[in-house]
Structure 1
Amino acid sequence: MSVTHRQVVDGLLPSPVPVRFVAENGTAVEPPTGYSAPGDEQLLEAYRRMVLGRRFDRQATALTKQGRLAVYPSSRGQEACQIAGVLALRADDWLFPTYRDSVALIARGIDPVEALTLLRGDWHCGYDPVATRVAPQCTPLATQTLHAVGMAEALRRKGEDGVAMVFVGDGGTSEGDFHEALNYASVLRSPVVFFVQNNQYAISVPLARQTAAPALAYKGIGYGMRSEQVDGNDLVATLSVLTTAVRHARAGDGPFLVEAHTYRMDPHTNADDAGRYRDPEEVDRWESADPVARLETYLRDRGLLDADGVASAQEAAEEFAARVRDRMNADTEPGGRSGSVGRGKPDPYELFDHVFADPTPQLREQRASLAAELEG
């Protein structure tokens, strides 16, 4: 029997409602057919990493207020997405993060001070992308999506069975690069997973003013790409869906688009005033769906976690935050490269390094102007 056009489309369509394993109050619900829950040990590991990630996020925000970071985009409320994305990958897979994904970098095993280097205003990302298989955190919206497809295609052509997963926000789906990447990946059937963390706002622009689509997951259909939507505050569901997506890509079945419905609880960055564009009642509603609290309740109800386990996770997170704080407060010599300790006083002339191999007349003029201002 031949496969009909309708059957092809049905095979690409996401679930009509986001996939969910755990309700907002932490109780288990019946998941849709085709998805299975991760193992208990993996869920416990995910919980510990989420607790640590939440505490790291709070510490990084505090460091910004102390002037130790130039800027910090919090991911509080998106921990389930950050951790599930990393746990779904193998060590030899590639991760392409955005500027908001520092918690994912920590979960991937990157030194926390190195992960924060870029956010201190340095000109390099702080860690070795080749050694860690993590691309530099990307600030321009959606440009990393094309980079991820290129890497996935390179892995495929080399005969490796690696997968590239690229994180992108809801605002990034409005960029041309995102759509070019979807088309490129689908035509080539590249092993890449597009993971959209829909946190409801592109800075101050709500989702309703970004797209008329019923969900961002439907963006993949027009490119012939299998797609799914998931409750991004449900770690169990998010990890299950992403594991399925990675398996699909690794098997040579082409790219996969996953949209996670989540929420950015804090402002866009420390320089943003979210009270100007969203209602406090909206934030309160999403607070009640907190991904860390939801997973904790779920694990407690199943007898997998007790008070000692919670205390142990929190103690480890506090110790981790203290080490990060102490190391960020230990400065190197001026102009020193950040890594095992803080960066120290930045050299303003680094602005002109690595722009062109041979500085242009305009660049030399700008450097001279800066020198005159500093000397004056």
Structure 2
Amino acid sequence: MPSPEQWTHPEPGEGPAAQAAQPSREQVIAGLRNTDAGGAEVTQLLTPEGERIASPQFDRYIPDIDPEALRGLYRDMVLVRRADREANAMQRQGQLGIWVPLLGQEAAQVGSGRALRPQDMAFPSYREHGVAYTRGVDFKELLGIFRCTDHGGWDFKAHGFHPYTIVIGNQVLNAAGYAMGQKFEGKVGDDEGEATIVYFGDGATSQGDVHEGFVWASVYDAPLVFFCQNNQWAISEPTERQSRLPLYQRARGYGFPGIRVDGNDVLACLAVTRWALEECRHGNGPVLIEAFTYRMDAHTTTDDPTRYRLSDELEVWKHKDPIERVRVHLARGGHADQAWFDQVQAEADAFAADLREFCFNMPEPPPDRVFANVYADPSPVLDSQRDEYLSYLAGFVEAGER
């Protein structure tokens, strides 16, 4: 049996590869503690203790992050987390069919989302509520998806944020095609160029769609940032059952750069994503970012994580909370006092209360809503199906009147 270090971080030429067997409890804990900060190769600008780390390579990508901007990032994460917790509670109360929590991944999503420019495009999976928020999507628009009343009602092009994708990894193919279009239309090559970012989890890296997206983006030098939120668990399987190498190193085999960033560090996520987007918008091809973070809640509200992971993990990662490290940094530097933190929390509570009021009183959509916005142009076939369906429903009304 390989050592815990080899199980979690096997390197070429450094011993036998990870065996395809279930690791013991001791190996899981030891492997976690060996990599709980992402290893020596991780990019970090703000430690879990709130200490700022200078980076000659990446500090130049966040010259605008003064205390006011950092307070803004803190506020973003607090509001997003509060909305996420409220949606989770509403699902338990029967107001939503399902919810996909992002607890613990706020820094990865807010940091990378704030790195995007208006002309950029983002392709989410089904957990990127924080990215949606940074792209100006009303959080209420997300609730309809999980209440099963619509597929997402925001203007995808105006917000630069595509609809959620439920099929694991499928959004990577869509993003690769979109980014190839940006390249073919000459929208890359200078500071004003466009770029695309696509979000997926560590489990999605085992999907063929992700592999194909890597291939096509690579050979066409597509301006595409692959943003992998490695939250350690592909539903009920740990990352070490998915890969023999750290995920960011997979980029090497496709011929483009890969980097691992502390996914609980909002500054590092912001700086690294800005760097990656700049590489892409200048025509230097795709980049893979592995944001090393942790899923603090269940995969979805239908999942029970206590059946497959240990409480030791949760306790370790609680000390790496992405919001707490920014709060400590602001407080120690004298950039925010308790009154300001209380004000942000009150704003977050009001934000959640507004969501709750909206969700509890959300009107049922008309029957023909399911046929709306399926195609950009009118479709005679779809129109015929809609008319037939509405006629079928009308028959019940007429029968009841007789």
Normalised by the length of structure 2, the TM-score is 0.79
Is 1:203 aligned with 2:258? no
Per-residue deviation, residues 64-120 of structure 1 (Å, max 9, x unmatched): 112111110100000001101110101121011110111221221111111222111
Question: Hey, what does 2:50 align to over in structure 1?
Answer: 26
| CA drift at 1:264 | 0.6
Query: Residue type matched to 2:317 in 1?
Result: W
Question: Hey, what does 1:93 align to over in structure 2?
Answer: 120
Is 1:145 aligned with 2:168? no
Is 1:17 aligned with 2:17? no
Matching residue within 174, 183, 188 for 2:206: 174
Per-residue deviation, residues 219-247 of structure 1 (Å, max 9, x unmatched): 11011111110110111111111111111
| CA drift at 1:350 | 5.1
2:149–2:365 Cα contact (<8 Å) kept: no
| CA drift at 1:335 | 3.0
Is 1:296 aligned with 2:345? no
Query: Residue type matched to 1:132 in 2?
Result: H
The runs of 5 or more residues in structure 2 that have no matched partner are 1-37, 188-192
Q: Aligned Cα RMSD in Å?
A: 2.9
Task: Give runs of aligned pairs for residues 1-376 of structure 1, distance below 5 A.
Answer: 17-31=41-55, 33-36=56-59, 38=62, 39-40=65-66, 41-160=68-187, 161-213=193-245, 215-332=246-363, 334-336=364-366, 358=381
| CA drift at 1:357 | 6.6
1:168–1:196 Cα contact (<8 Å) kept: yes
2-structure distance, mates of 1:16, 1:24: 15
Per-residue deviation, residues 37-63 of structure 1 (Å, max 9, x unmatched): 731133221111001011011111011
2-structure distance, mates of 1:35, 1:349: 47
SS of match in other structure, 2:153:
coil
1-structure distance, mates of 2:135, 2:249: 29
Question: Hey, what does 1:339 align to over in structure 2?
Answer: none
SS of match in other structure, 2:59:
coil
SS of match in other structure, 1:127:
coil
1-structure distance, mates of 2:369, 2:69: 47
| CA drift at 1:312 | 2.1
1-structure distance, mates of 2:381, 2:53: 62
1:15–1:228 Cα contact (<8 Å) kept: no
1:102–1:116 Cα contact (<8 Å) kept: no
Normalised by the length of structure 1, the TM-score is 0.84
SS of match in other structure, 2:289:
strand
Query: Residue type matched to 1:335 in 2?
Result: P
2:143–2:359 Cα contact (<8 Å) kept: no
SS of match in other structure, 2:69:
helix
2:135–2:160 Cα contact (<8 Å) kept: no
2-structure distance, mates of 1:242, 1:156: 19
| CA drift at 1:327 | 1.0
Query: Residue type matched to 1:314 in 2?
Result: Q
Are residues 200 and 114 of structure 1, via their aligned partners in 2, closer, same or farther at CA, if it must alter by over 3 Å?
Answer: same
2:331–2:337 Cα contact (<8 Å) kept: yes
1-structure distance, mates of 2:54, 2:111: 20
Name the % identity: 36
Aligned length: 344
1-structure distance, mates of 2:39, 2:177: 29
Are residues 17 and 64 of structure 1, via their aligned partners in 2, closer, same or farther at CA, if it must alter by over 3 Å?
Answer: same
Query: Residue type matched to 1:146 in 2?
Result: L
1-structure distance, mates of 2:142, 2:235: 22
1-structure distance, mates of 2:374, 2:51: 53
Deviates more, 1:58-67 or 1:15-24: 15-24
| CA drift at 1:172 | 0.7
| CA drift at 1:358 | 4.6
1-structure distance, mates of 2:234, 2:165: 15
1:21–1:30 Cα contact (<8 Å) kept: yes
Per-residue deviation, residues 105-154 of structure 1 (Å, max 9, x unmatched): 12211111112221112342222212222111111111111111111122
Query: Residue type matched to 2:229 in 1?
Result: Q
The runs of 5 or more residues in structure 1 that have no matched partner are 1-13, 337-346
1:15–1:229 Cα contact (<8 Å) kept: no
Deviates more, 1:126-135 or 1:161-170: 126-135
| CA drift at 1:185 | 0.8
